[in-house]
Amino acid sequence: MPTFDVAKGALASAKADLLAVPAFQAPEGDGGRSKKKDKGPVAPHVPEATAPVAEALGIDLAAELVALGFEGSVGETARIPTRGAVKARQVLVVGVGRAADLDADAVRRAGAAVADAASKTESVATTVHAVGELDPAEAARAFVEGVALGAYRFTAFKSEADLHRLEHVTLHAGDVKPSVLKTAVAEAEAVATAVALVRDLVNTPPGDKRPPAFADRAREVAKEAGIKAKVLDEKDLAKGGYGGILGVGGGSDAPPRLVELSYSPSGAKTHVALVGKGITFDSGGLSIKPAEAMETMKMDMGGAATVLGVMQAVAALKLKVRITGLLALAENMPSGSATRPGDVLTIRGGKTVEVLNTDAEGRLVLADALEHARELEPDVIVDMATLTGAALIALGDKVGVVMSTDDDLSDALVAASRRAGEPFWPLPVANDQYKKLLDSEVADVKNVGGRKAGTITAGLFLHHFVGDDVSWAHLDIAGVAWNDGGREGYLPKGATGVPVRMLVEWLRER
């Protein structure tokens, strides 16, 4: 991740390889090229803060951009050589869209465009964050997040990693107090560092993060962040009656773990429990997946990684909220000791589950962890899991699922997701007809309810182990935690780190 700082003084005189400035797209109705040939292209709007750079270059910047066919859409870029007029070799103009539509995510995506365009540049000085009517601190946070997330690359297993990367970005404060921007930059760096941690963990090959190794890494991160950590091994789990985690992990020679992380700042009035599914590799167990469906199953611990990342960020930000994080870690493998379809598992607390499909394993480890969380009597429980392929079918890979027994909690999470640029959408919980799909003839509940409404029945299964005495929300991140396509703005191919930023935003509000 690049380093960031804040500077006073004119951007044109900055000692950087590249100067990055913003430009607006023409208002709707004027944008793009005119239908009348004699009018020609409509120039993008260049903010006043960019004028000194154009003057130093001795050019009409708007006219240059028209000649280059640049329109100013979000993330669009154009390069203009400085020919020695300033210390920087080039000026990078970055589109931020129409002024009427400007929001934090547009600035975030513009930041990612800067990172991409400057990937082989050592240093950038910029005013892209200083545009429009956005609050300066909000805009600076979004820009730094965009640059940091857009610059992310997973190279841990590359024998020859590309070392030509953006190393340093300077935000020029202009009329804003530098201290305001410095605080915003530090906050954004903390969040981006947490997202990078989650991406790294999810991208790591499954053989290098089996449950004991993942638990050790969680302990290391917690120690660095000043968070207390306790790890329950297979003996502790057996003694405590964690039949779901043990049942899922029983087919692997790498035993399961339950990690409890505790962040308790003085003055905190709210206790939030965050619970994450951590299947470090999902073969499907005896209900084995097709080979091609296993190729990305190293990402099935994305929920647990998210909990760890959020807690790292919260500790760095010193938020005044008590948080307990639970990472339910197991490897779902087929073997002679694996759970069989038809087996009945006893979850912590005594409820029983008939396992009809061993590939519906995430809900089994979460059941134990949710019971554990409930015993701690928090004010709120939020669990997150790459739980169902049905979530991907229902909402695609750009929108996550939220299910909650508390409408206010659901609304707050959805609002935070929009502010963070990580959209989530609610699905119903209160539906007796769907609940009946989980009725079992031999146990309290079965672990699958059939093909219909798969995401909803999975959430209803989890609700069995939370009850109605605590405010609870379930986030199905199966579609949004992983990007099968190419790089899209600040989302890389592979692990995305969603929903770390959304949850940090929600916790800020609490």
pLDDT, tens only, 271-282: 999 999 999 999
Residues 296 and 344 reside in one and the same domain: yes
Residues 107 and 214 reside in one and the same domain: no
Residues 463 and 391 reside in one and the same domain: yes
Q: pTM for the whole thing?
A: 0.95
Residue 163 β-bridge partners: none
pLDDT in tens, 479-490: 999 999 888 999
Question: Would you put residue 103 in left (φ > 0), alpha (ψ -120 to 50) or beta?
Answer: beta
Residue 151 lies in a domain: yes
Residues 96 and 217 reside in one and the same domain: no
Phi first, then psi, for residue 497 (nearest 5°) are 80, 5
The span from the CA of 205 to the CA of 463, in Å, is 32
Domain of residue 152, CATH code: 3.40.220.10
Residue 181 lies in a domain: no
pLDDT in tens, 184-233: 999 999 999 999 999 999 999 999 999 999 999 999 999 999 999 999 99
SS3 224: helix
SS3 324: strand
Residue 308 lies in a domain: yes
Residues 452 and 358 reside in one and the same domain: yes
The span from the CA of 510 to the CA of 507, in Å, is 5
Residues 289 and 351 reside in one and the same domain: yes
Residue 383 β-bridge partners: 275, 474
Residues 121 and 239 reside in one and the same domain: no
Domain of residue 446, CATH code: 3.40.630.10
Residue 46 lies in a domain: yes
User: Do residues 417 and 400 make contact, with C-beta atoms less than 8 angstroms apart?
Assistant: yes
For strands 18-25 and 90-98, give the pairing.
parallel
pLDDT in tens, 339-356: 999 999 999 999 999 999
Average of per-residue pLDDT values in the chain:
95
* Residue 30: per-residue pLDDT: 58
How buried is residue 13: exposed, middle or buried, by Cβ count under 10 Å (0-12/13-18/19+)?
A: middle
Active site residues: 289, 363
Domain count, the chain: 2
Phi first, then psi, for residue 448 (nearest 5°) are -140, 150
Residues 264 and 165 reside in one and the same domain: no
Among 360, 393, 409, 398, residue whose Cα is nearest residue 488: 398
Question: Would you put residue 169 in left (φ > 0), alpha (ψ -120 to 50) or beta?
Answer: beta
Domain interval for residue 73: 3-174
